[in-house]
Structure 1
């Protein structure tokens, strides 16, 4: 089971996971038609967490309508998280981890880490990023991204690593994907001169992980090392971890196609993206393709 759960939560997700598995094996379909049931309020979800989880385990249509609507809003929720990160970035107050809980109980979690950082160097090298609209510098197979963080290695040659993991959690499902990006920084023995064309980064190794629980099945795909050598400023190495997320075939609510089609067997891609600029500036992104 996923990390960071209390026993009660772990038991709940394990139950839902087994419930969905049994439904698929028996060919049982939970169908929800438009306007079939009323909407369950956010206030109820937050004030009656145990009762709400019990409704999910009992396949209550009010609760599952709530869950499927939230699932269909995943891309929209990522945009809201982006606004919060951008606000902190403009204040020079970026954090290495975020957990944003929405009014319906949905949680978006993300963390970012680098093996060794130089805060003062980062302040100098990234001072012009505060007002920039950051997207991956290298194009890839995604059509929606959320910028997470920027950190900077010390001004010396050496082996470094950076990585990010992001997670989308509801009471009916969890999907998460992460990457660890190892690289070598060569500053050509010219500390302080980031414009030196000899300053470079080179990918040495990558690892990735992905997981899904509940009605969302997550299938890992191999890490892609798209660009492995970058020399000088404004050039980047890039690696990303893709994973395919699919809604269980036992659940049908196609009319809920808001930002993704949340109907049975609907699928989308999730990515964790790592980029490192030549002088050792690390950028992290979460992304989706729908």
Structure 2
């Protein structure tokens, strides 16, 4: 894959999920799947159903397309969200640890993705168990993104014939994907590896376990706008969060120590569908008002996601979903110093 030494970017993924053993101890639901089977017999009219916010399939499809999903994915996640809402309204807790539920192979998921989705929407317990228990992108995505950026195995983001950033998207055999992107206005000077920061300069609630990506970028442009985005998709849900950080660089004295960066604004957005919902958002956050050549200003977006209350399982890599109704916090963070070095991070904690 082509390397671009003139525009290297740092992208960090912080993966700090804190769980106790108690998180995985769940009371076995009684007759939950008998209730579910009766619910399945009645079926779901997706054209008439509404989610917990009163939104119809048409409204959800329009919303998801506006958030960047394809028509096909928007249709699927809209129905998936309606399915979850209908199960929750019925007060059913599905036990995916039931030994009578047959297994579905990765080969089937890879070879028949449309049929697999249809089986999920058709309330097939085997498909639901497979989708819920597998989420390779969640389990392995952070390490893989780290390795991809370190090896400069990213794709250039091009606008109007110019490179404005890089992105990595990794697809897994179980159908899940993870993607990270950093874009923005850039005027490049020479790379300065001294500005590669393995940790966030400003501390926050995102913990201390880090994965480093790439290099750094210097710029003498007066104003900057940078956008960092993290996205995860699987057969059971999607989650997306981005942050837009704007700042101004000025030169206050002749030597290199005279460069400063001042915060202009920070704003963020998030979206989700399927088995998870946005529970709360903190969309505009900054730390530091001015940075010098060796210090950083920061902007970040923080979102709390919540899992569905209708599924329980004591297995599977998606440990945040092992307990119904669990929540976790997702962050996207951007930092810049007075010389224009930009570092972007993603973070999670429960």
Structure 1 residue 66: deviation in Å?
2.2
Structure 1 residue 257: deviation in Å?
6.1
Match of 1:226 in 2: 287
Q: Superposed, which structure 2 residues align to 1:53-202 within 5 Å?
A: 53-71=117-135, 74-88=138-152, 96-118=166-188, 121=189, 123-126=190-193, 129=196, 134-143=198-207, 144-147=209-212, 152-156=217-221, 158-188=222-252, 190=254, 193-194=255-256, 196=257, 198-202=258-262
The unaligned stretches of length 5 or more in structure 2 are 1-63, 155-162
Structure 1 residue 4: deviation in Å?
4.0
Give the 3 Å change call, closer, same or farther, for CA 146–214 of structure 1 in structure 2.
farther
In structure 2, C-alpha distance between the alignment counterparts of 1:50 and 1:88, rounded to whole Å: 33
TM-score by length of 2: 0.71
Match of 2:12 in 1: none
Do 2:141 and 2:170's aligned partners in 1 also have CA atoms closer than 8 Å? no
1:238 to 283, 286, 298: 298
Match of 1:256 in 2: 316
- Runs of 4+ aligned structure 1 residues displaced above 6 Å come to none
User: What is the DSSP-based 3-state SS (H/G/I as helix, E as strand, rest coil) of the residue aligned with 1:13?
Assistant: helix
How many residue pairs were aligned? 275
In structure 2, C-alpha distance between the alignment counterparts of 1:258 and 1:160, rounded to whole Å: 37
Q: Superposed, which structure 2 residues align to 1:32-51 within 5 Å?
A: 32-33=96-97, 35-51=99-115
Give the 3 Å change call, closer, same or farther, for CA 168–232 of structure 1 in structure 2.
same
Q: Superposed, which structure 2 residues align to 1:8-27 within 5 Å?
A: 8-27=72-91
Structure 1 residue 15: deviation in Å?
0.5
Superposed CA RMSD: 2.6
In structure 1, C-alpha distance between the alignment counterparts of 2:175 and 2:70, rounded to whole Å: 16
Structure 1 residue 18: deviation in Å?
1.1
TM-score by length of 1: 0.84
In structure 2, C-alpha distance between the alignment counterparts of 1:101 and 1:230, rounded to whole Å: 38
What does the per-residue CA deviation read over 1:90-124, in whole Å, with 9 as the maximum and x for residues that have no partner? 9xxx9611111011110111211121231xx2x43
